[in-house]
Amino acid sequence: MKSDKKSDTKDTEQEYLKKLMERIVKLRKERGMSQETLANESHISRSLMRGYERGERNISFANLVRIIKFGLKMKVEDFFSEGFDV
């Protein structure tokens, strides 16, 4: 039986989006930040941040960089290099 490549790609995208959001939430909580604080520091709306964390919204690259650089105050490479793809 032939694998559905489009479905496999979508599954992989969803898996990594989930990992991405789990990492953001973990780091936010480790820093003692509320969703609202992270959103404010990242220059995005709280409702958008909530949607990202709940998996209801797909994050844009621009907003991902804002969250990492301004909100979490990390280098992008550090965000991804510290066990992200384990």
Per domain, the residue ranges of the chain are: 12-24+31-81
pLDDT surpasses 70 at 84: no
pLDDT tier at 86, thresholds 50, 70, 90: low
Phi, psi of 54 (to 5 degrees): -85, -5
pLDDT surpasses 50 at 10: yes
User: Are 22 and 56 within 8 A, CB to CB?
Assistant: no
- The CATH-assigned architecture of domain 12-24+31-81 is Orthogonal Bundle (1.10)
pLDDT tier at 1, thresholds 50, 70, 90: very low
